Amino acid sequence: MPEPSSSPKRRGRLLRSAAACVVLSAVAGYVVVQYVTGGSHAPGCKVVSATAGRAAYEFTPEQAVNAATITAVGTGRGMPERAVTIALATALQESGLRNLDHGDRDSLGLFQQRPSQGWGTPKQVTDPAYAADIFYEHLAKVPDYTELPLTVAAQRVQRSGYPEAYAKHEPDATLLAAALTGSSAATLTCEGTPRTTASTGPDGVRAALLRDFGRDALREAGAEVSDDKASSTSEGTERTERTERNERNDETGADAPRAVTDGRTVILPVAEDTTAAGRDVRERGWQLAHWAVANASALRIQKVSYAGQEWKAGHTDSRWRPLASGGTEAAGTGGAAGAGDDTASVRIVTAR
């Protein structure tokens, strides 16, 4: 004789229990995601073409910081935009613009340089500024590198087992180089809430400027820089001092350029580029402005304004927008009315 079927009441209890388990699982998953991500919109960066077609490349804040460093080191050496494009494409292929602590054999860092092949110590090649500097040093020795196909020029430096691989990154590297050298205005943006780090505020911004652009470049731009270190004339000392200075900056924030500050605001004067690249004031200004946006998450930068336009962090649509008439947006940060509406200076406002 067959068993009697379950009562409707019992089936209802089972269905309600199953539904409750599903809801609880969903809530638990949401809590875990919020805990891991901090409950905020994940920040991302984007660069677009200034010409028709509006090609675009999206990347992470980590990649943005590294790309900005590579560019700053290149322009500081007087390298042309083409050299920066080659360097960025190389780093995109070798590491995805990430400062890797591993690689094939003893390859390390942004460019996967090998200490055993004379590129420097492991500590040096994992310093983005050093790695970029020595890459440019080798690139400058390649005859007519600006006239070569990008993948050929990169291969002359890297001697990779995949010599054609650099070519696929040329479009993205070209967009990045145009924005980060300043030849393309208001084309780089980042979104999301700035994160907290050990080195933030105006001191952190000044230390990062010194790390990427160097003392001489900032002095030419009008920033007041301490002169408590004697310059060296021995070969290779400048690069070594750059690495050592970066380590001290990480620990103490000392030896940072004393750009004018007003509370949370760093005001960075802009001057013409006196290197061989010979960029004008506007290009130099947009390089500094885009550099600040690229570093916004790491340095808790809230606003950047230049040439009458302003970028703000924490927006899902963090486009560059015209400053309010009379510079009221800039004035709200503690500066004078009208500040930021010309090309004479870049204003960088840090979060509280």
Q: What is the CATH number of the domain that holds 173?
A: 1.10.530
Contacts of residue 323, Cβ cutoff 8 Å, sequence gap at least 6:
305, 308, 309, 310, 329, 330, 340, 341
Does residue 136 sit in the same domain as residue 202?
no
Predicted pLDDT at 10 = 60
119 plus 214 within the same structural domain: no
Residues 115-138, mean pLDDT to the nearest whole number: 97
Same domain, 274 and 135: no
Indicate whether 236 pLDDT > 70: no
Q: Are residues 153 and 252 in the same domain?
A: no
Radius of gyration of the chain (CA): 24
Cα distances (Å, whole numbers) of residue 89 to 85, 94, 150, 169, 308 = 6, 9, 8, 5, 32
Q: Are residues 94 and 111 in contact, defined by beta-carbon separation less than 8 angstroms?
A: yes
Place of tokens 């970029």: 132
Residue 24 confidence (pLDDT): 57
For residue 234, pLDDT beyond 60: no
User: pLDDT confidence of 277, banded at 50, 70, 90?
Assistant: low
At 333, is the pLDDT very low, low, confident or very high (cuts 50, 70, 90)? very low
Q: What pLDDT is attached to residue 200?
A: 72
Mean pLDDT of 324-340: 42
Residue linked to tokens 């196909």 = 149
Q: How confident is the model at residue 104 (pLDDT cuts 50, 70, 90)?
A: confident
CA-nearest of 101, 109, 148 to 129 is: 109
Does residue 122 lie within any of the structural domains?
A: yes
User: How confident is the model at residue 167, as a pLDDT?
Assistant: 97
Instruction: Find all residues with CB under 8 Å of 330, minimum gap 6, and list them.
Output: 305, 310, 323, 337, 338, 339, 340, 341, 347
Shared-domain flag, residues 176 and 132 = yes
**Does a structural domain hold residue 22?**
no
How many structural domains does the chain have?
2
Same domain, 256 and 176: no
25 in a structural domain? no
User: Are both 160 and 197 inside the same structural domain?
Assistant: no
Q: Which pLDDT belongs to residue 271?
A: 78
**At residue 120, what is the residue type?**
G
152 with 210, same domain: the answer is: no
pLDDT digits (tens, 9 = 90+) for 82-97: 999 999 999 999 999 9
Question: pLDDT value at position 321?
Answer: 94
Q: Which pLDDT tens digit goes with each residue over 132-179?
A: 999 999 999 999 999 999 999 999 999 999 999 999 999 999 999 999
Q: Are 62 and 45 in contact (CB under 8 A)?
A: no
pLDDT band (50, 70, 90) for residue 39: very low
What percent of the chain lies above the pLDDT cut of 90? 52
The SS3 of residue 140 is: coil
User: Where does the pLDDT of residue 35 fall: very low under 50, low under 70, confident under 90, or very high at 90 and above?
Assistant: very low
Judgement on whether residues 219 and 174 belong to the same structural domain of the protein: no
**Residue 136 contacts residue 74 (beta carbons within 8 Å):** yes
Q: Which domain range does residue 305 map to?
A: 192-225+236-350
Helices (H), the chain: 8-37, 61-76, 81-95, 122-125, 128-139, 150-158, 170-180, 201-220, 237-252, 281-294, 296-299, 328-331
- Structural domain includes residue 111: yes
